[in-house]
Amino acid sequence: MAGLELLSDQGYRLDGRKAAELRKVQARMGVFAQADGSAYLEQGNTKALAVVYGPHEMRGSRSRALHDRAVINCQYSMATFSTAERKRRPHGDRKSTEMSLHLKQTFEAAVMTQLFPRSQIDIYVKILQSDGGNYSVCVNAATLAVINAGIPMRDYVCACTVGFVDETPLADLCYAEESGGVSSLALALLPRGGQIALLQMDARLHQDHLESLIEAAMTACKGVSKVLDEVVRQHLQEASVLTRE
Amino acid sequence: MKDTPLSNCERDFLIKAIEEKKRLDGRQTYDYRKIKITFGTDYGCCFVDLGQTRVVAQVSCELVAPKESRPSEGIMFFNIELSPMASPAFEQGRQSELSVKLNRQLERCLRNSKCIDTESLCVVSGEKVWQVRVDVHTLNNDGNLMDAASIAAIAALSHFRRPDVGIQGEEVTVFSPEERDPIPLSIYHMPISISFAFFQQGTFLLVDPCEREERVMDGLLMIAMNKHREICSIQSSGGIMLLKEQVMRCSKIASVKVSEITELINKALFNDRTARKAGRKCGFAESLPQERITALKTDQSEVEMTDVSERASDIIQKAEAPPPIRAASPVLPAPGVGQVGHGLQNTWGLEEDEEQEEESSGEEEEIKMEEEQREKDKTTEAAVVEISDSEEEEVVILYPETTKKPKNAGSSSDQKGAAASKKRQKK
């Protein structure tokens, strides 16, 4: 991808955004009737579906049940048509397992699991179209699904992927920017307390730039949290309007 | 096989020790364990000892067809095997969560940071490239496998030599090591991972957790850096919530540690190179220390004695006035009737004097120290009578008139009652 200018002199990126601009977010909650909670979220061209079942009784091995909190079980998978080349193994390979572990870790920090001992909460996320920032979109969609399921959480969990190009942090990377060898940082944040639930960074970045990159990521996450809050309020309004009639 | 669960008291002990800034092996919060790096006889084999954690890394290469998306770049493949040799918790063949986590972290640390020039691994663009494979096997797990694995992998890659290749037109000849000297890989930088363990919801932080500390930790932060202060990878795991300041502090600590460890790796590589040139024997067998018994006594080990005298006087002072607990007065039952119970006279086994003494000695031994100190203070005669044949046990018979015991009120009343009744019997 050499030759593609990720940040032009006027400050515009490949898709015409400014450096700190997020992609357009569109979301719907309660898309499936069968699941306890579900949500569909689009961030630019990346589309993700999240479904939550629970809290319910432990399935499978009862021995894994925790006596004082709920177990969160996450599964991340990509649809075979989600990437440019058809994906041969949608789940079970190392990257998907790692992503599932990260999602589990993120939501274990945010969901109030102490209220549901000896139970299990399942979160399934599927990427329908992948255009960069897979992890962040998954986390945002799963947050909406967990809220839709009525499971109490400490705060919204918002995630964003930021990159560092030409001494400038770029918020919300798309696939072309991610694969261009840019150092990318994925951050999952609980906005009110400023607590980081997950921090993941690849590729080389000088230590001095780390602080500004984390700052940019936190600002972007706070922006995402405002959008998610809007979506939740709107959904509630629509639902209450319908029930009133 | 399931790992033995950690007992609650051990967990509490560890957490309390960490709160007081003490570690099990006496290290400081930011100290690493002793790192030892040795190389095997073949190129590309490296053993790393991080305290008791041992891993071995082996690099190998073969010619394959390149990926379609990158026709002129070589392929790097990393694999960490958690063998059951390292810990009873690891199962052969099963891809556990830890194994996935370690593999992905090593891949991200070494591959995404582009520490190796993959374009130099290309032989014929689009047809033949070198696939370099790094296999790391864990031999003994005493915590912090990630750091040991990353040191072993990068040291092995720096040590490795690939066969020389000659291209004449369409023909590609791979020379064996005897024909032409093998060539080292071109390594840009050495990413080393540093692990930080968090305890008590992020209040306490330790570098290089050992296995016990890993069991009680809340979460782990892994920062991979090279000596040029470039961060190659950051990964937080476990359900902890971090603050930005904590991450920045960890990265500063990591940069210091990484430069030390890189120094160590370079020194080890240099030593190995000089040893090979000089024709000396090298390899795993040579690196193991010869353990011979040279003396039958151990060295003097230092014991902290600074506050022993204060503590001893504290104990003595506190023991000055023990609360007098009046045990229930023993009821002498009618002959032929027995009583058993807490605080009552024990009428079992009164005939066997020897048994009595051994029972009392077993219970009293732990408070014997206190007793002796108190007795010495009160300058009453300590009745130490050797009754049993055992040379190890010191037997103390306690009479109700001379000493009063605050602890073991129940059993002591038994003994007192027994002694009293024995005296009556003797009378």
- Of B419 and B249, the structure prediction assigns the larger pLDDT to B249
In this complex, is the C-beta atom of A213 within 8 Å of any C-beta atom belonging to chain B?
Answer: no
Taking contacts as CB-CB distances below 8 angstroms, the residues of chain A near B237 are 101, 105
Lowest mean pLDDT of A150-154, B134-138, B293-297, name the range.
B293-297
Q: Which domain holds residue A170?
A: 25-240
Q: Which of A84, A194, A189, A89 is nearest to A143 (CA)?
A: A189
Given this model, what pLDDT does residue B334 score?
A: 66
Q: Which residues pair with B36 in a beta bridge?
A: B49
Does A229 lie at the interface with B, CB-CB under 8 angstroms?
no
Question: In angstroms, rounded to a whole number, what is the distance separating the alpha carbons of residues A185 and A210?
Answer: 10
- Residue contact A198–B236, C-beta within 8 A: yes
Q: What are phi and psi of B10, to 5 degrees?
A: -65, -40
pLDDT value at B358 more than 50: no
The string of DSSP letters for B224-273 reads EE-TTSEEEEEEEEES--B-HHHHHHHHHHHHHHHHHHHHHHHHHHHHHH
A238 touches chain B (CB under 8 A): no
CB contact under 8 A, B232 and A203: yes
Cα B399 from chain centre:
48
**Nearest partner of B34 among B53, B21, B47, judged by Cα:** B53
Residue A12 lies in a domain: no
Residue B325 has pLDDT above 50, yes or no: yes
Tell me the Ramachandran region of residue B32: left when phi exceeds 0, alpha when psi lies from -120 to 50, beta otherwise.
beta
* Structure confidence at residue B134 (pLDDT): 94
In a domain, A138, yes or no: yes
pLDDT in tens, A43-74: 999 999 999 998 999 888 778 888 888 999 99
**CA dist B410 → B325, B328, B333, B358 (Å):** 10, 9, 19, 17
Q: What is the mean pLDDT of chain A?
A: 89
Tokens of A2: 């050499």
CATH of the domain at A216: 3.30.230.70
What digits encode the pLDDT tens for the residues A178-200? 887 788 899 999 999 889 999 99
**Residue B163 and residue B176 in contact, taking contact as beta carbons nearer than 8 Å:** yes
Model confidence band, residue A23 (pLDDT cutoffs 50, 70, 90): very high
Nearest CA in chain A to B190: A204
Structure confidence at residue B354 (pLDDT)? 47
Once rounded to an integer, what is the mean pLDDT over residues B24-42?
89
Predicted pLDDT of residue B200 = 86
A190 — contact with chain B (CB < 8 Å)?
Answer: yes
What value of ipTM does the predicted structure carry?
0.87
Does A214 reach chain B within 8 Å, measured CB to CB? yes
Question: Which DSSP symbol is given to B179?
Answer: T
Asked if residue A57 belongs to a domain, the reply is: yes
| pLDDT(B176) > 90 | no
Number of domains in chain A: 1
Share of chain B above pLDDT 70, in %: 70
Report if residue A75 sits inside a domain: yes
Domain presence at residue A14: no
In this complex, do B229 and A207 lie within 8 Å of one another by their Cβ atoms?
yes
Mean pLDDT of B91-120: 85
CA-based nearest residue to A172, from A76, A43, A2: A43
Q: If you average pLDDT over residues B346-368, what whole number do you get? A: 49
Q: What is the pLDDT of residue B388?
A: 52
Residue A211 inside a domain? The answer is yes
| pLDDT exceeds 90 at position B281 | no
Mean per-residue pLDDT over chain B, rounded: 78
Residue B409 has a pLDDT of 41
Nearest 5°: CA angle at A44, between A51 and A28?
Answer: 35
In chain A, the largest separation of any two C-alpha atoms, in whole Å, equals 59
DSSP state of A64: G
The phi and psi torsions of B34 (rounded to 5 degrees) equal -70, 125
Instruction: Determine the average pLDDT of the residues in B318-339.
Output: 64
Number of Cβ within a 10 Å radius of residue B114: 16
Task: Flag whether A214 is in a domain.
Answer: yes
Taking residues B11-18, report their average pLDDT.
Answer: 92
Residue B415 pLDDT? 46
Range with lowest mean pLDDT among A132-146, A194-208, B186-200, B400-414: B400-414
Q: Averaged over B176-192, what is the pLDDT?
A: 88
B295 vs B277, higher pLDDT: B277
pLDDT tens digits, residue range A96-154? 888 999 999 999 989 999 999 999 999 999 999 999 889 999 999 999 999 999 999 99
- End-to-end CA separation in angstroms for chain B: 63
User: What pLDDT does residue A124 have?
Assistant: 95
Given a contact cutoff of 8 angstroms between Cβ atoms, the answer to whether B148 and B212 are in contact is no
Which stretches of A111-206 are DSSP H helices? 134-148, 175-178
Return d(Cα B218, Cα A236) in angstroms, integer.
Answer: 36
Helix (H) or strand (E) holding B377: helix B353-378
Given this model, what pLDDT does residue A13 score? 86
Q: What is the pLDDT of residue B138?
A: 93
Which residue type, as a one-letter code, is found at position B265? I
CA distance B89 to A107: 26
Domain membership of residue A198 (yes or no) is yes
Distance CA A108, CA A69 (A): 10
Confidence at B318, pLDDT banded by 50, 70, 90: confident
Rounded to an integer, the average pLDDT of B159-168 is 88
Share above pLDDT 90 across residues of chain B, in percent, rounded to a whole number: 29
Q: Which CB contacts under 8 angstroms, 24+ apart, belong to B194-197? A: B194/B147, B194/B222, B194/B223, B194/B224, B194/B225, B194/B250, B194/B253, B194/B254, B194/B257, B194/B258, B195/B144, B195/B146, B195/B147, B195/B220, B195/B221, B195/B222, B196/B220, B196/B221, B196/B222, B196/B223, B196/B250, B196/B253, B196/B254
| Cβ–Cβ contact A196 with B under 8 A | yes
pLDDT band at B416 (very low <50, low <70, confident <90, very high): very low
Inter-chain residue contact A201 with B238, CB threshold 8 Å: no
Rounded mean pLDDT, B308-312: 83
The reply to whether residue B241 touches residue A195, judged by beta carbons under 8 angstroms, is yes
